Structure 1
């Protein structure tokens, strides 16, 4: 190893080139800062190379495969539509390479200095960067830690075998599993179950000590219906007894909600797992940086740590392990460093699942609103009454709106159906602006379009949705139920 004899001075150093890291680097350059971005692996981080993008390529392919019957109605395709998983893998690699090159080009165009290497903190204002036999030392004015997290098997999975898969391993498989057992009910588990079932795998979903999925109860009910429709076996409220791996598969034994012992055999087991912050290799803990009990970095509203020159963003700060959070924190941290006033408010961060069809939840569910003591109006508009959903053959799902009956302020918006991901930004904006029913009824909505379903769900709060049968008002629950089936 060759050690640099002198320290090199830098203004802002960002450690980690994932969505949070490279967003911070580019935003810093836009604000006139001199930025150095250090990444020890591939630019784009786990999200681009192993997580978000690879998984969504698989879910996208799965969704397209389910469109075959409708395509035949349109005169496109044949009854025999073979699926080549190897071609999908090649497409995945192509997209990842394109996106990674795009990130690198954007950094270069913004004059962000990019360095490859492993970072170790030597002081609260100094790091060492190791790259092969080269070791350089950098002093900085400010640094942002954006090193992400690593998935690990939960404590009850004592021994991890080759057929026990974490998220980055599942979406890196080179063939479709024969029978995939999905343990859990978070968005990754739901995406895995939905997509691999569409790609031809037998899928079983097992949920321990939990009655349902973590969405509004209406979406949970619809997801259960769609899983049954697609022959995804669903086991709920279980008590796990054992999980064993053999050469030919996985055996799982559990007690059902009726206290009956059952055994499930599959070719692979998927577990979302837990995540630990990527901090230990940095050596920052020995300088007294404040950490949570779970081992994540504590930050204030500006993303500043207990060490004034050091900020942290993304998974290393705990909380929801989502790229959208990391990107928002990145922009806030850099703005603060540049002397601008800014903040991060995760109150209305959308919960998104790229299932088939996708599901989105923003704000309060109906149940939570009532638990908070609110008198609510609720409207649920089925996409079967939407013209565009009908012509595209994607009528499954609905849009649900929850409002405060006293103030008419929208408290929550929940959707399962095609277009949910794209509409989620409008849902968040509506809640951020504390929109009332009238605010959302006033604008013009494109016709034909799924967005009209949002308008009709809002109009349904007062029983005025056009493309729905006359409603019946439940005076006891101040709820309109719109039926279009």
Structure 2
């Protein structure tokens, strides 16, 4: 590509180099299409640089320190010193290795890499603006386009991410020192993952959630072990409250949380001046209720993790005729096509579920459809994983959804407390649950909470994808002692002949 005031062309323009975009680019390159991938900041997108990978690196590192510190039952007595700066440097090395690999893979598959910000001029033309003085912009004509611009953290009133004490998830993954106290706004998966990370590092963590429980959308039996573990870590929760404002009373900050019913009436408003300390001022990390459930929480910093929104407002989609819904998501069909036949959208910008692996799958489908291959998106066996402590993983239909779909579901469970391997790891909270159709035994769904749930769910996803039955899973000999035996035992329990747990 020639940088400057020129017009060039490409078969496929891909906007955004996250998992959805770079996967689409590589697959399109493999299919002998001329591909141009435009990325404005870093290859790998949010997932590799500021989300999935760095958060899992810190979760692993803090778990290691925490487990060593609490392994007395195994005869291990240790008190490891944690250097957060060193931990973050290690995390960054992992990220650099992966993002560098993405760039090399793109080049090896013939993908043209272009740094800049893309906006549509019309349905077959985009303008690429290059950062830096004197870099200018260029025009790119395309036969097909794939929008993969991802998502960004949602902000809330009076909590600007530009204010140093207020963190988004990206900033929370790059702190140089462990804060003494932290308020987390939002008890979804991002909030719960990072709350656990910092609690294990010794931070006094308080979570504010507007709903009545953690992890909205997950069944109570899956959430219960996570909430119990969070309580053991000393995390405080205030449900049915919204964070309305923050101010600096002196050292640190003070976060004000209003009960949900009163949040709209109070409306946040202007934060008091630093000298205007209301009654009920408390020590760092403590909480006091004033004015009938209104809370004031002192902390060193605050993390806002209330969800993510699509990045679709930077593209001038209207110029290309591409439509979005009222939340800004680009609506697509089973081939990842938008309402404009030759323009596709994949990943977070294309809607829920906002999962990296879902975006990668959509990226492959979009590339193959453009190349004339028979491909379509199938969400039937799309797993969802959250790396809380313990982990939660689901795939397919839960029991209630199976019943609503007209099946007569039968379920089987196996508790990890009955797993020899789980007991030898010291992690025996949770269970494997499998859902099948009682008429023919076909596996419809599964849920796991417990050790290595993120790994174990793949077997059950494959079972759904292949149309396996309970008999198929139960008859598959699993190595002993392993956590995966729990999957076999759950299937046997559904059939009424589990060996290591009582049958229903």
Structure 1 and Structure 2 fold alike (TM over 0.5):
yes
**Equivalents in 1 of 2:208, 2:68: separation in Å?**
29
- What corresponds to 2:210 in structure 1? 208
Q: Does 1:226 align with 2:229?
A: yes
Question: Alignment partner for residue 497 of structure 2, among 435, 441, 464?
Answer: 464
Cα deviation digits, residues 68-123 of structure 1 (max 9, x gap):
157666677x5221111111011011111111111111112112111212223222
Tell me which residue corresponds to 1:145: 147
Given candidates 459, 470, 486, the residue that maps to 1:437 is: 470
Q: Contact 2:414 / 2:486 at 8 angstroms: preserved in 1?
A: yes
In the alignment, structure 1 residue 382 sits paired with structure 2 residue 415: yes
* Alignment correspondent of 1:337: 370
Counterpart pick for 1:272 among 299, 302, 305:
305
> TM-score with structure 2 length normalisation?
0.85
Residue 164 of structure 2 corresponds to residue 162 of structure 1: yes
2:159–2:246 contact (8 Å) kept in structure 1: no
Distance 1:120 1:239, change over 3 A: closer
Equivalent positions of 1:78-477 (< 5 A) are: 78-131=77-130, 132=132, 133-134=134-135, 135-154=137-156, 161-213=163-215, 214-236=217-239, 238-240=240-242, 242-246=244-248, 248-255=252-259, 260-369=293-402, 375-468=408-501, 470-471=502-503
RMSD (CA atoms): 2.7
Aligned equivalents of 2:300, 2:183: Cα separation in 1: 8
The superposition leaves residues 290-344 of structure 1 with CA deviations (integer Å, 9 ceiling, x where unpaired) of 2212222222221122233322211222222221121111001000001011111
Change (3 A) 1:372 1:231: farther
Consecutive unaligned residues in structure 2, runs of 5 or more: 262-288
Instruction: Give the distance between the partners of 2:431 and 2:387, measured in 1 at CA.
Output: 15
Match of 2:36 in 1: 36
Moved more, 51-60 or 404-413: 404-413
**Does the Cα contact within 8 Å between 2:84 and 2:176 map onto a contact in 1?**
yes
Q: What TM-score do you get using the length of structure 1 for normalisation?
A: 0.88
Moved more, 240-249 or 140-149: 240-249
Find the residue that maps to 1:413 and give its secondary structure.
Answer: strand
Report the CA distance between 1:211 and its aligned residue: 4.1
Provide, for residues 379-421 of structure 1, a one-character-per-residue CA deviation record: whole Å limited to 9, x for no partner.
3322122122222222222212233344433333111111211
1:51 is displaced (CA, Å) by 1.5
- Structure 1 residue runs without a partner (length 5+): 472-479, 481-485
Distance 1:3 1:35, change over 3 A: closer
CA distance in structure 2 between the aligned counterparts of 1:332 and 1:375, rounded to whole angstroms:
33
Q: Is the 8 A contact 1:216 1:366 kept in 2?
A: no
Q: d(CA) in 2 for partners of 1:13 and 1:232?
A: 46
- Contact 2:153-2:307 within 8 A present in 1 as well: yes
SS of aligned partner of 1:41: coil
After the TM superposition, which of the residue ranges 420-429 and 240-249 deviates more from structure 2?
A: 240-249
Q: C-alpha separation between the residues in 2 aligned to 1:9 and 1:371? A: 49
CA–CA separation in structure 2 for the residues paired with 1:340 and 1:329: 14
- Say if 1:8 and 1:139, in contact at 8 Å, map to a contact too: yes
Cα distance change on mapping 1:380 and 1:156 into 2, 3 Å: farther
